[in-house]
């Protein structure tokens, strides 16, 4: 007969009787934040030693978006914040405080700036993947957020706070078994994300070929521009006959941002989509903030997007794009994101790939305003220049691109499902409510 697990009450709740609790300080070789490189942004390079910042650190995954590098001389000056394989990264300041992931070995050698803490466990005591799972659990995320908000005006976790975290400690074999289960889910999520990046490259190449290089097929199936297709002059240069030059406002029926009212974060409720949730072309439902139903009905419902609307980040990290799916709704929108809805002149897919194109992203960033954070306002968005093809051409493009777009969407649905499985399993595994069979 299978023996049931007996539990004991501890400072962090019930855990199996054969587990211990320890403070993080007693299970780590290093806990400490990074430093600002001498010269700050002026020393950033296109290649060299990786410098990891808070914008690269998300719960469970590392984002290479906005990654910067430093030369060997600066890296040597920052040697005391050098990262090693299996180090854990924890954001310790600002709106992204408490986000946590393992450093990918492909980005080593690397250093971290002052907004990120290095946590290097003693691998004989604490498995780093197990620790990541514990720190990214809803319970621990809420604890760290409340702790970070208890000080001054800016969210911050200090070294002493992190050192004092109390962690459940199964034996190392059980930690590794738990980590293996959760790692397999994360690996499948990462595989789908990589596949989507490949599909996105294909979509962007097709869009460029048709609408920037003007090499769409003519009536005989030959490339329009190379075959001497008729063109007319415009302010942006020659464009195909029958096309016109316009602005984003000419091909949209709605451009607006979300509420500026800061909501109170809760567990569960209606998702509030901020810039960090606009990721990989779709709305990401991990790293999510929730608001109450009353808050949503009272303030946010008027900012409700519809299926196939686009979201684009307009404050901080600019120009990230997501398309709203039916199963995303209902959601509320924060002011650092703009909702954009196509009109009858173009399709949602055309608008999506237009926003992803280099020519549009470059124009987008030229319009930005620089304050404490970069931003672009709604009026500037509506005035962005764009070439407007005829409707027949957009319909033909939609037929071609739909299989690519559908595959991206299916991959994202699978990612969303895997995240839900992981997030439902995670608290049960790290609390011992589900025990892993050891060989």
CATH architecture of 7-169: Alpha-Beta Complex (3.90)
**Could you state, in order of their start, the residue ranges of all structural domains in the chain?**
7-169, 217-389
Say if domain 217-389 classifies as CATH 3.40.50.150: no
User: For each of the chain's 439 residues, which pLDDT tens digit applies?
Assistant: 345 889 999 999 999 999 999 999 999 999 999 998 888 788 899 899 999 999 899 889 898 878 999 999 999 999 999 999 999 999 999 878 999 999 999 999 999 999 999 999 999 999 999 999 999 998 999 899 889 887 666 788 999 999 999 999 999 999 999 999 999 999 999 899 899 989 999 999 999 999 999 999 999 999 999 999 999 988 878 999 999 999 999 999 999 988 776 656 666 678 888 887 887 677 877 667 777 777 777 767 766 788 999 999 988 778 889 889 888 888 888 888 999 999 999 999 999 999 999 888 888 777 665 555 678 888 988 999 888 999 999 999 999 999 998 898 889 889 888 988 999 999 999 999 999 888 6
* Same fold across 7-169 and 217-389: yes
Contact residues for 221 (Cβ-Cβ < 8 A; gap 6+): none
Quick one: which H or E segment has residue 202? helix 172-211
CA 38 – CA 35 distance, rounded (Å): 9
Q: What is the CA radius of gyration of the chain?
A: 24
| Distance separating the N- and C-terminal Cα atoms of the chain | 18
Report the candidate in 341, 344, 374, 375 with the shortest Cα–Cα distance to residue 355.
341
């Amino acid at each position: 007969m299978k023996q049931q697990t007996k539990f004991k009450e501890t400072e962090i709740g019930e855990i199996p009787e054969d587990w211990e609790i320890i403070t993080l300080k007693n299970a780590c070789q290093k806990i400490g934040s990074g430093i600002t490189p001498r010269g700050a942004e002026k020393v950033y390079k296109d290649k060299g030693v990786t410098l990891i910042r808070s914008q690269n650190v998300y719960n469970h995954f590392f984002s290479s978006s906005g990654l910067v590098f430093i030369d060997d001389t600066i890296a040597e000056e920052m040697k005391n914040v050098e990262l090693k394989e299996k180090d854990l990264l924890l954001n310790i300041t600002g709106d992204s405080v408490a986000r946590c992931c393992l450093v990918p070995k492909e980005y080593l050698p690397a250093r971290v700036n002052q907004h990120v803490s290095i946590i290097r466990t003693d691998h004989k005591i604490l498995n780093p993947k197990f620790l990541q799972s514990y720190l990214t659990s809803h319970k621990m995320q809420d604890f760290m957020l409340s702790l970070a908000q208890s000080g001054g005006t800016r969210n911050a976790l200090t070294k002493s706070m992190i050192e004092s975290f109390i962690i459940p400690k199964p034996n190392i074999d059980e930690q590794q078994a738990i980590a293996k289960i959760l790692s397999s889910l994360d690996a499948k999520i990462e595989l789908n994300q990589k596949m989507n990046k490949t599909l996105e490259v294909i979509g962007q190449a097709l869009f460029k070929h048709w609408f920037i290089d003007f090499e769409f097929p003519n009536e005989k199936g030959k490339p329009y521009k190379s075959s001497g297709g008729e063109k007319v002059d415009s302010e942006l240069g020659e464009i195909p006959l029958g096309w016109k030059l316009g602005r984003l406002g000419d091909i949209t029926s709605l451009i607006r941002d979300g509420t500026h009212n800061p909501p109170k974060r809760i567990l569960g409720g209606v998702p509030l989509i901020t810039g960090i949730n606009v990721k990989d072309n779709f709305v990401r439902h991990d790293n999510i903030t929730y608001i109450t139903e009353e808050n949503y009905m009272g303030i946010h419902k008027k900012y409700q997007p519809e299926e196939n609307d686009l979201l684009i980040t307009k404050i901080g990290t600019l120009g990230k794009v997501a398309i709203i799916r039916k199963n995303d709704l209902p959601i509320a929108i924060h002011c650092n994101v703009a909702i954009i809805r196509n009109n009858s002149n173009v399709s949602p897919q055309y608008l999506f790939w237009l926003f992803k194109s280099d020519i549009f992203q470059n124009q987008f960033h030229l319009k930005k305003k620089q304050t404490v954070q970069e931003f672009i306002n709604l009026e500037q968005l509506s005035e962005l220049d764009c070439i407007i093809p005829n409707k027949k051409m957009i319909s033909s493009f939609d037929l071609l691109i739909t299989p690519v777009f559908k595959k991206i969407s299916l991959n994202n649905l699978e990612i969303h499902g895997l995240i839900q499985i992981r997030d439902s399993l995670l608290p049960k595994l790290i609390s011992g409510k589900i025990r892993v069979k050891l060989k």
